[in-house]
Amino acid sequence: MSETACSRRGFLKAAGVIVGASVAAPALLASDAKKGGANLSYPPKKIASLSALKKSGEMDFNYPDADSPCKAVMINGEVKAYSLLCTHKGCPTMYDASAQTFVCPCHFSKFDAAKSGQTIIGQATGKLPEIMVEIKGDDVVAYGVDGLIFGRISNTL
């Protein structure tokens, strides 16, 4: 059997390539995750009528697809909308209008609806994905998602 000798220079070159790749890989993966995660634009979709939302105070809808349950709520005269899936284990949250929070019945995480869905307490470490909305006349139109929808590896359709 022949044994291949490795020079010191060859060893250092190989080690440099390995270290360089390990430093560059997280940055490349983070840029891919950002493209598929926050602020990704989806096709606009009417999710509610503003007048009906003002009367009821909240309205369920699906966005960006049928597998993504969401809720639009009125808070201080402003429309806010979030994915209902808890970021901890994906349990559907319930909206508590009196406290302006989304509450997960599975592990008791709470999210602040007035503050971009921030986690208040519980097992969840991330905020609820916020559905970006705009008002066009009497239409409430969703056009994107800020955050990763639970159960997906990216926010792509």
Burial of 77 (0-12, 13-18, 19+ CB in 10 A): exposed
74, 82, 83, 88: which one is catalytic? 88
- Please pick, among 107, 135, 151, 156, the residue that the annotation labels catalytic: 107
Q: Which residues contact 121 (CB under 8 A, 6 or more apart)?
A: 108, 109, 110
Q: Is 72 a catalytic residue?
A: no
94-96/40-49 β-pairing: unpaired
Reply yes or no on whether 107 is catalytic: yes
Question: Does residue 51 sit in helix, strand or coil?
Answer: helix
Q: How far apart are alpha carbons 102 and 117 in whole angstroms?
A: 8
SS3 assignment, position 21? helix
Residues carrying an active site annotation = 88, 107
